[in-house]
A and B are shown apart, each in its own frame.
Chain A
Amino acid sequence: MSVGPDAPAPGAGPFAGLRIWWTMLVISIEERLVYRGDFALGTLMRFLPIVTQVFLWTAVFSATSRGDIAGYSRNDIVAYYLLTMLSRAFSSMPGLATGIARSIRDGSIKKFLVQPVDYVSFLFASRIAHKLVYYVVAAAPFALVFFVCRSFFPPLPDAMTVAAFGAALGLSFLLGFFLEATLGMLGFWFLEISSLVFGYMLVQYLLSGHMFPIDMLAGIPSGIPGTSLADVVSWLPFQFTAYFPAAVWLGKIQGAELGRMLLVEAGWVVVLAIGCRFAWRRGTRRYSAFGG
């Protein structure tokens, strides 16, 4: 990505922000279009691993006599995977943490210390721009796949559920952003954060719901008596990046539980946003102390 933390920091002013966004948007689109053969195909290709998983679960169901696993029928699982693709389209922040760490390491972060532009806001704006571009170019492939697979989905949920789904998606974007941004800020203290990022990605892989719905952990006891692994995970931030919006749409989380989890998600967003800001303040102070 040529746009992002390394792009030249613009001056201040009310329209400067808008101009940045527009320029970044245009550049990002151009960048994507250069690889003309790749972009539409690339988006479709990302659905391929789901095909394998669907066949796997179908085989699992055929071997058992149960109608559902942890409350999910076979069709539910297909719908679930497709919906996690959607939630991950909102929450994934590729290269954010490593990009921040890199600009700390090579010194290009200095210009943000000097110029009157807030680094975190800048990153936030550029991520929104990226996402917008991504949605524009990915909308068609996504729509195609969802349309073709519409028979796997349960009937459309009620307005409340749809609203909750929308809220969950929006929050997952914020959560994903602040999670990775805070991780990247650790670059002020650790020279190489790649091990940290790796650890984070591993945990994400397992606990975000990317591989399987978290409900499936309900049968596994956690260390804490009286709770299952699923209960513990429901308090952690990871599941909100993939599992939560999907489960909401499918109606697997209702009523009070839904309200609680939305609150937990919002809580995490606030905590991480504050943490990110705190890390930035402390980190830049430390950085300047060392002369950069």
Chain B
Amino acid sequence: MTRYLSILGTFARACLVRDLTFRANFILECLTSLGWMSMNLAFYLLVFTFTPEIGRNTGWTREPFFAFVATGLIINAIVQALFIPSAEELTELVRTGGLDAVLVKPLDAQFLLSLHRVDFSALANGIVGIALLAWAVARFAVPPPPVAWVLYPLLIVCGVAILYALVIMLAAATIHLGRNQSLYDFWFYITNFSRYPAEIYSGPWGSPLRALCTFVIPILLVVNVPARAIAQPLTGAAWWAIGGTVLAAVAALIVSRLVFQRSLTRYRSASS
């Protein structure tokens, strides 16, 4: 276990050194993600000039909504910093046959392939997310109860775990198919559904979609449940959701690992 941690430390250190060497590029990447995020925040502010709440009686007024956005920023920053860079490189590794070198090492392949690249510039959004959360929570009519502050980090971890499981399954598809057109595009489309509170999915089309994205591919649990824990009152239904999310996270990790292992046994390897 400690061995894995120290190896992770070496990877992270190597990536940090590289990022700091290409400093200008690093700063540009930070500014890029901050830039997109600001555009979106501007859009949300615009929306709130037309309405006091997103959805009727959902509780997502302006400050809670921004707490939701902040939660999304934090979770996505973690996933994009830790897991996405390695997953993107996986396509290259499979194409060039570099994956062979990974399989030969006495180290869990999934660990190596998930974490060998870290993108520190993606954390910029996460930091802004934390600031935004602080700003929003300070303006709540009713401050969140202490238990919410315990649940929040736990549920963030669950959200990250569910997204990680998704990344791993996409990576497994890459290994199996030998190529992936663009992992990042696919990722964008999937996570796009979880940008807003789940309550917006209502009506004859919305409700089935909401059910699909909650119970089958649980992406709606990722941001909604932690955000609701901090921004909305903790009702009985909320506790069910929290329990379900923890279970979903564990299940997702197990399922994704099985899928990944399976894809390794069917690995073809590039021709020499």
Contact = CB atoms under 8 A, between A and B. Distances in A.
Interface of A: 35, 38, 42, 45, 48-49, 52, 55-56, 58-64, 66, 69-70, 194-195, 198, 202, 205-206, 211-212, 216-217, 219-220
Interface in B62-78: none
A60 B36 contact: no
Contact of B50 (A49, A64, A194): A64
B47 A60 contact: yes
B12 interface: no
B42 interface: yes
Given A62-B56, A63-B58, 13 more contacts: A35-B181, A59-B54, A59-B55, A60-B51, A63-B55, A64-B51, A198-B35, A202-B35, A202-B39, A206-B39, A211-B43, A212-B43, A212-B46
A220 B42 CA distance: 12
Nearest to A41: B181
A62 B202 CA distance: 11
Interface in B30-60: 31-32, 35-36, 39, 42-43, 46-47, 49-56, 58
Contacts of A60: 47, 50-51, 54
B39 A55 contact: no
Interface string B140-169: 000000000000000000000000000000
B201 A202 contact: no
B271 interface: no
A63 to B, nearest CB: 4
Contacts of B56: 59, 62-63
B200 A59 contact: yes
A59 to B, nearest CB: 4
- Give the residue among B28, B35, B50 with the most A Cβ atoms within 10 A: B50
Nearest to B188: A49
A66 B181 CA distance: 44
Given A198-B32, A202-B39, A206-B39, A55 B52 contact: no
Given A48-B192, A49-B192, A56 B46 contact: no
A216 B189 contact: no
Interface of B: 28, 31-32, 35-36, 39, 42-43, 46-47, 49-56, 58, 181, 185, 189, 192-193, 195-196, 199-203, 206
Contacts of B199: 59
Contacts of B36: 202, 205
Nearest to A219: B49
Contacts, number: 78
A215 to B, nearest CB: 12
A222 B254 CA distance: 54
B204 to A, nearest CB: 12
Nearest to B28: A195
Main secondary structure of the interface of A (DSSP, over half): helix
A49 B189 contact: yes
Contact of B200 (A49, A58, A205, A211): A58
A49 B56 CA distance: 22
Contacts of B192: 48-49, 52
A38 B193 contact: no
Contacts of A64: 50-52
Contact of B46 (A42, A55, A61, A216): A216
5 contacts: A48-B189, A61-B51, A63-B53, A70-B50, A202-B35
Nearest to B40: A211
Nearest to A204: B39
A205 B181 contact: no
B222 to A, nearest CB: 15
B103 to A, nearest CB: 27
Contact of A55 (B28, B53, B200): B200
Contacts of A195: 28
A69 B203 CA distance: 21
Contacts of A212: 43, 46-47
A69 B56 CA distance: 16
A212 B189 CA distance: 19
A44 to B, nearest CB: 10
Contacts of A211: 39, 43
Contacts of B28: 194-195, 198
B181 A55 contact: no
A38 B181 contact: yes
A162 to B, nearest CB: 30
A56 B51 contact: no
A194 B25 CA distance: 10
Most buried by B among A62, A69, A70, A216: A62
B63 to A, nearest CB: 15
B201 A63 contact: no
Contacts of A202: 35-36, 39
B196 A56 contact: yes
A59 B32 CA distance: 30
Nearest to A198: B32
Contacts of A63: 51-56, 58
